[in-house]
Amino acid sequence: MTRWLDDYEPGLVERFGAFPVEREAIFAFARLYDPQDFHLDDAAAAANPLFGRLAASGWQSAGIAMRLLVEHRRARGDLTPVLAGAGVDELRWLKPVYAGDTLSLEWEVLEVTPSRSKPDRGTMRSRSTLHNQHGERVMTFVATELIRRRVV
């Protein structure tokens, strides 16, 4: 069932996903996008008092959250109405993500605003919270998306 902007209401909460974080994926992402030692080297990560062992990049965690959201929407048939992302606010990395963690997403609709000038679309603000397998929050952010309205 496709959901258009008109189908969302503030307060809607969905929980989904189970994404395993693999050691080799941490290295691969870090080599390409965030080549800091604590993402690439066990000894450097162990010496870092914040991590203590090899940790995934926060940007990798953000990418995993996006993948979980897209896969969830694709399974529901909800991708068609999404026009584009318009921004991310309040991005916070709360706990390290380690190899062997399994991440899931909690997604909450905060605001739904039909456009005054373009009646075929509007914006939706939502909060995403990424959790590890222990239910601990590892990352949060608020996103704004442009989404089509149902044409009647």
Q: What is the pLDDT of residues 101-146, one digit of tens each?
A: 999 999 999 999 999 999 999 999 999 999 999 999 999 999 999 9
* Between residues 34 and 79, the one the model is more confident about: 34
What average pLDDT does this structure show over 41-60?
Answer: 96
Whole-number pLDDT of residue 142: 98
Helix, strand, coil percentages (3-state) for the chain, rounded to 5, are: 30, 40, 35
42 falls in which pLDDT band (50, 70, 90)? very high
Tens digits of residue pLDDT in 54-91: 999 999 999 999 999 999 999 887 777 899 999 999 99
Strand partners for 106: 15, 129
Given a cut of 80, is residue 152 above it in pLDDT?
no
Q: Which two tokens stand for residue 134?
A: 């222990």
For residue 90, give its domain range: 5-148
Residue 58, domain CATH:
3.10.129.10
DSSP structure class, residue 27: H
Neighbours of 1 (CB within 10 A): 6
Looking at the 3D structure of the chain, how many domains does it have? Answer: 1
What's the whole-model pTM score? 0.93
Question: What is the b/e burial string over 95-119, where b = at least 16 CB atoms within 10 angstroms of the residue's CB?
Answer: bbbbbebebbbbbbbeebeeeeeee
